Amino acid sequence: DAGITQSPRHKVTETGTPVTLRCHQTENHRYMYWYRQDPGHGLRLIHYSYGVKDTDKGEVSDGYSVSRSKTEDFLLTLESATSSQTSVYFCAISLQGPMNTEAFFGQGTRLTVV
Amino acid sequence: TQLLEQSPQFLSIQEGENLTVYCNSSSVFSSLQWYRQEPGEGPVLLVTVVTGGEVKKLKRLTFQFGDARKDSSLHITAAQTGDTGLYLCAGGETSGSRLTFGEGTQLTVNP
């Protein structure tokens, strides 16, 4: 267990509503990532953080925002949920960056937008 | 964004058979990682390779990083039903902190 907790684990929401997913770590790792996983697409990077208040966009960042006010928490917000954002969302952490150390993943949040 | 293509996308074999999964790109990566994911769980790291031509063995699993650091392969010898899962390759981009994933190979080992 890498000390990563995602909440909620499951959520159903309506189109147009804002949604926030939370990732909490107890490892004090510098890097945190949000991915979405869809059939046929593998894991696609949404946003990542390399420190408190330091974030950057991934390859599928449109419609998503993030915040990291503390080392241990990385929040992903869907500003106005759409059906195309129905997916499984994974948070990951790494100590020095993915090229140097292992990335540990949470158990995922299954989000359904109806 | 650097892209990784995995093949095959699906693989169904009998217990005891050997198999190879490929991960290819036109881009150079600083490192290549292989993960295994089970239903309802996040991916778990199997191995990281960082040097062109590097070969690593993990029991019945053999991982190889291409000489040009653009491709990798995972070979499983004498597959077991417990090897069933989704295998993902991931490349560390040379330009920053991103880890780019392939689409995955769903392996089913039948008894």
pLDDT tens column, A40-70: 778 999 999 989 999 999 989 999 999 999 9
Q: Is the model's pLDDT at A28 over the cut of 90?
A: no
* A102 min Cα distance to partner chain B (Å): 7
- Sheet strands (E) in chain A: 4-7, 10-13, 19-25, 31-38, 42-51, 54-57, 64-70, 73-78, 87-94, 104-105, 109-113
Q: Calculate what percentage of chain B has a pLDDT beyond 90.
A: 75
Per-residue pLDDT at A1: 54
Residue of A50, A99, A102 to mutate for B, most B C-beta atoms under 10 A:
A99
Q: How confident is the model at residue B96 (pLDDT cuts 50, 70, 90)?
A: low
CA separation, residue A108 to residues A10, A30, B14, B16 (Å): 9, 20, 30, 32
pLDDT tens column, B17-55: 999 999 999 989 888 999 999 988 999 999 989 889 999
CA dihedral B5→A103→A57→A12, nearest 10 degrees, is 90
* A15 min Cα distance to partner chain B (Å): 25
Per-residue pLDDT at A2: 63
What one-character DSSP code corresponds to residue A85? G
Per-residue pLDDT at A95: 76
Residues of chain A contacting B, Cβ within 8 Å: 31, 33, 35, 40-45, 48, 50, 56, 58-59, 90, 92, 94, 97-100, 102-108
pLDDT tens column, B60-74: 999 999 999 999 999
